[in-house]
Structure 1
Amino acid sequence: GFVLVAIYKLEVDREGIGDFKAWEGFFGRWLLLNLIGQVQAIICCVGDICLGIQCTSPAAFVFAGMVESFVYVFLIYALSVAFKHIGKALGVLLVVLQIPGASGLYPIQMQPGFFQALNPWLPFTYGINAMREAIAGFYGNYYAQNLLVLLVYLIPALLIGVTARKHLLNINSLFDRKLGETDMMITERTGMKGHFRLATIVKAIMDSDTYRETFLARAAGFELVYPVLVRRGFLALIVVPLMLLVLMFVTEAKFTMLMLWIISLVVICTFLIVVEYLHVRVAQKTDLSNMGKDGLYAMLDDELRNEFLAFAPIDKMRLDKDVRASEDADGTGNAVAGADAG
């Protein structure tokens, strides 16, 4: 699963397809990765059997591998598409933790207490248990229980890949654009679309002057602290990992220091990305606060069409509304003219 998200593009090109929603692109690309993952699982498991491993039920062994591939690929793809490179770093962290934490090397009873406490929360735990049933013999419905628990991990993966990703599209676009500006890395997005929440657009329409004053005051405060936040972030990016790296070599808790080192990099990088995103977002919202009513209504129409009323004839509805308003005005004018004539 990790190799797949590292090789294939995670975003679907709109060229030749047309417009589609974020969740449609998510499942479209997942279908491809899942298909390849299933082929990988079959080759891996059938290859093991052909090599002559002990296996009480070869069919159950292959099926367990296919279910595991289904869940693992979905999970790593959801993390990677929602959080980009940080999601891939989390995937590496999961792999590092699960090899010892899911009794992949030794029985979990022989591992330190940290891994024993982590064991029930790791998806590898249930995949390994299901495969052991197929290899050494079945005990009650333990095989089915482990596969069902493994499928539960699809729920958080779905929430991350569909729900969280929807709210991270702007920041991911910014991240890719900044990487592209280095001329050293290939990115999947080259521009950042100015996407605003429906509530923000409505607030700007309903009370433009108050919204502009309030936003500009907040923007001025953020711009003052922005350079300080960036400097502190880069300083932390150098100092904190370096301190943990030194502790890794002078203490006995080497694995704990390694985990803290990886987590610190993820947290500090996330902080810097969010700060830069807010900085760019300030400029975009400044443009929004200075936008006229017509432009705001156009953005509102696009948002409604994309999110809620994909097939609603919004333009026709607005035209009919304008026609009715014009007719009402004409009727009022004629009535007044008639009264004056009388």
Structure 2
Amino acid sequence: MSIGNVVIGVQTVNPVFFLATSVAIGLVYLSIIYALAVSFGYIGKGIAVLLVIMQIPGASGIYPIEMMPDFFRSLFPFFPFTYGIDALRETIGGFYGLNYLRYMAVLALFAALSFAVGIFLRQRLGNFSRLFNSKVAETGLFLSEDVQILGSRRRLTQLVQALTDREKFRADNARRRRWLDLNHRTLQWAALSAGVLGTMVLFVVGSVFPDAKASVLGLWGLLLLIVMAAMVTVEYINQSVTYGSEVVDLPDDALKQALAEEEVAIRSDARLDQLEKQGQNA
């Protein structure tokens, strides 16, 4: 699209900077979306869609931010679109001081944060994403995506605890199991009820204050993501306790083998074939 703008004669003070900035901005946005998708799965994709919807009016892409509701003005400095749009405006209307460098520096910070999220949370949230995808598949409404996890599904801390003090780990895991058996359904219904009640409240607010519909829509999307995350978190804790029950009954040799596999999976210098083998065995 940027090349097309130059071809049809859209005025820019520097076409080279305009094209280069467009490419850089696109890569930053791609990094953010990819990091969210690989780290949080379907929830991350939902967050990415919500970000796009909220940034179109909230990053001065349609109207000046001064004309938007307070909700969007408060979020304006935190949107990557804000700095991408301002950087492109510099290449179109002219460079003023160091504004262009400041906008690009903030975008570079967004990209760095995205890489950090993807690198450090991808492996740690693998079980969470796999569980969420399995629950989505059970509905039959969406196609589930496989989540490859390097290493086993067991948590490293569980393996270490079972090796150091098996009886204490057994007692703690049994206590968590009893608590979950008593509160599992209650927590799920509480999250679902909060989502329904919150939706009703937002519907009333949107009906009473028509000018706030954009803000209400953004809050409703955020509410849905929070409710889904809460329900899956409860299931994740339940799954963690189930895995803990499996770990506590493993013999010491099997625990040491599993611990060695986890060490290979988290080492940055591990060979690719080793990592692929651990992922296939997960």
TM-score by length of 1: 0.72
Aligned equivalents of 2:49 and 2:270: distance in 1?
A: 42
Instruction: Judge conservation of contact 1:180–1:190 (CA < 8 Å) in 2.
Output: no
Aligned equivalents of 1:69 and 1:197: distance in 2?
A: 36
Q: How do 1:303-342 and structure 2 match up within 5 A? A: 303-308=262-267
Match of 1:85 in 2: 42
Shift of 1:239: 2.7
Shift of 1:194: 4.9
Q: 2:195 aligns with which of 237, 240, 248?
A: 237
Counterpart residue type for residue 91 of structure 1: A
Match of 1:179 in 2: 136
Shift of 1:309: 8.4
Identical-residue share of aligned pairs (%): 33
Q: Which moved more, 1:121-130 or 1:187-196?
A: 187-196
Structure 1 residues 181 and 119: CA distance shift in structure 2, 3 A: closer
Shift of 1:165: 2.0
Q: Which moved more, 1:219-228 or 1:303-312?
A: 303-312
Q: 2:242 aligns with which of 264, 283, 298?
A: 283
Match of 1:15 in 2: none
Match of 1:207 in 2: 165
Aligned equivalents of 1:68 and 1:229: distance in 2?
A: 41
Match of 1:260 in 2: 219
Match of 1:122 in 2: 79
Aligned equivalents of 1:160 and 1:97: distance in 2?
A: 21
Q: 1:156 aligns with which of 90, 99, 113?
A: 113
Counterpart residue type for residue 79 of structure 2: L
Secondary structure of the corresponding residue to residue 22 of structure 2: helix
Q: How do 1:10-25 and structure 2 match up within 5 A? A: none
Shift of 1:191: 8.9
Alignment pair present for 1:218 and 2:176: yes
Structure 1 residues 109 and 240: CA distance shift in structure 2, 3 A: closer
Alignment pair present for 1:166 and 2:123: yes
Q: Structure 2: where are the runs of 5+ without partners? A: 272-282
Counterpart residue type for residue 182 of structure 1: T
Structure 1 residues 251 and 109: CA distance shift in structure 2, 3 A: closer
Q: How many residues align?
A: 269
Aligned equivalents of 1:170 and 1:185: distance in 2?
A: 19
Structure 1 residues 194 and 308: CA distance shift in structure 2, 3 A: closer
TM-score by length of 2: 0.87
Aligned equivalents of 1:235 and 1:113: distance in 2?
A: 29
Instruction: Judge conservation of contact 2:72–2:215 (CA < 8 Å) in 1.
Output: no
CA offsets 1:191-229 (integer angstroms, 9 cap, x no match): 988523333212101221222122112211121111111
Instruction: Judge conservation of contact 1:241–1:261 (CA < 8 Å) in 2.
Output: yes
Counterpart residue type for residue 76 of structure 2: N
Q: 1:274 aligns with which of 223, 233, 258?
A: 233
The structure with the larger Rg is 1
Aligned equivalents of 2:270 and 2:121: distance in 1?
A: 25
Structure 1 residues 269 and 205: CA distance shift in structure 2, 3 A: same
Structure with higher RCO (Cα < 8 A, 6+ apart): 2
Match of 2:274 in 1: none
Q: How do 1:101-112 and structure 2 match up within 5 A? A: 101-112=58-69
CA RMSD of aligned residues (A): 2.2
Q: 2:55 aligns with which of 93, 98, 109?
A: 98
Shift of 1:180: 2.4
Structure 1 residues 233 and 91: CA distance shift in structure 2, 3 A: same
Match of 2:205 in 1: 247
Shift of 1:310: 5.8
Aligned equivalents of 2:252 and 2:178: distance in 1?
A: 24
Structure 1 residues 262 and 183: CA distance shift in structure 2, 3 A: closer
Q: Structure 1: where are the runs of 5+ without partners? A: 1-43, 313-342
Structure 1 residues 83 and 222: CA distance shift in structure 2, 3 A: same
Shift of 1:74: 0.2
CA offsets 1:15-60 (integer angstroms, 9 cap, x no match): xxxxxxxxxxxxxxxxxxxxxxxxxxxxx10111222222221111
Aligned equivalents of 1:301 and 1:263: distance in 2?
A: 40
